[in-house]
Amino acid sequence: MSDALVTVFSGGGTGGHLYPALALARSLTDRRPDVRPFFVGAERGLEARVLPERGLRHLLLPVEGFQRGRMLANLRVVTVLFRALGRVAELFRRLRPSLVVVTGGYAGGPAGLVAVLTRTRLVLQEQNSVPGVTTRMLAFFADEVHVAFPEAIAALPRRARPRARVSGNPVEPPEVRPREEAAASFGVNPDGTVVLVVGGSQGAFALNQALLGALAAVERGELGRPPGLQLLWATGPTHLAGVRRAVEELGGPEWVHSIGYIDRMNLALSLADLAVSRAGAMATSEFLAWGVPAVLVPLPSAAANHQARNAQALEDAGAAIHLPEGEATPRGLWERISRLALDPVVRQAMASAARSRGRPHAALEIAAALDAQLPPPPFGKSGSRGSRERRG
């Protein structure tokens, strides 16, 4: 492994930081088969399960994020961070990576810091409209910073802004399927207006409760159902049984289709006329790539309120409606859904605005930029046509 052209990908703690790293690694190795990816993450993050399951080379560190207002707990965080830096430094001595790519989250900090100290090329990828602490800190030293939202550039350190590029988030490119095929996969009527409801990989309890309240009001005749409206509802695995039980108690309306988790999201997005979702960076990037209008209900506890910033940025762009959780009552949520379901002209305008912000081929574009940071491939192999010299 020490003689290979190694690129370290680091970021995690949540899927919003891990999956971009995985997508970039896949796109880069497709372009440059001579590259060997290595992942650095956190023992407490989602990557502790995903990386071993996929058989990917990795190092897991006992790091964790800082906690606001908890000084004693944060002293321990700093102590653990210094130990993690030592482990990453030893890893770098062994692997001698040519490039380090940090996709954010507390799990990306150690690898980014060691890249700076060892003068290894460093590229950042920031998913949100508000850059996280890790991105802001490392941006001073990064060779490039790829952002998904143009609004993020103004929040970077001034000296880093000339090296920032609006590249989008690395999502799976849209793959159009016949509507009937997609509908059959979920048992949905293809002739109806399909509303895709997602609350993240674990679901969103508050969103589920608001929607259940709205359905109860519809069944009582207090709220109306737009003609042909169909709900494709990803409740989250732990919420599925409770939601299905509650829907059955309402009489089991045939237009409500609940599922714990959608593992074929491209199929669901090809079917959706409208989405209702949290405002995480990767979910919103998928809606933009597909041109799906959305009602976004941000998670109030998201760090630095970044989900609300994401939602507001997309509302300002005309691609979504920003509905704060405090206003997402059963009636408030259903009124937004109904208004858009009944107005295809507004939906089409929102879809066009979404596509104008979407970057469905972001993974390929960022991989090309990463390739340009690497040494050229062995003679006779395809890939980068040149390289830049390492920082001196």
pLDDT of residue 178: 87
- Residue 91's identity, in one-letter code, is L
Residue 331 has pLDDT above 90, yes or no: yes
**Nearest-angstrom CA–CA distance, 287 and 270:** 10
Query: 190 is written with which tokens?
Result: 């293809």
- As a whole number, the mean pLDDT across the chain is 90
**Nearest-angstrom CA–CA distance, 329 and 233:** 17
DSSP string of 195-237, one letter each residue: EEEE--TT--HHHHHHHHHHHHHHHTTSSPPPTTEEEEEE--G
pLDDT tens per residue across span 239-254: 999 999 999 999 999 9
**Percent of the chain clearing pLDDT 90 (strictly above):** 77
Please work out, in degrees rounded to the nearest 5, the angle formed at the alpha carbon of residue 19 by the alpha carbons of 237 and 10. 130
Position 382 confidence tier, pLDDT thresholds 50, 70, 90: low
pLDDT tens per residue across span 339-349: 999 999 999 99
The mean pLDDT of 268-275, rounded to a whole number, is 96
Domains annotated on the chain, with CATH = 5-172+361-373 (3.40.50.2000), 179-357 (3.40.50.2000)
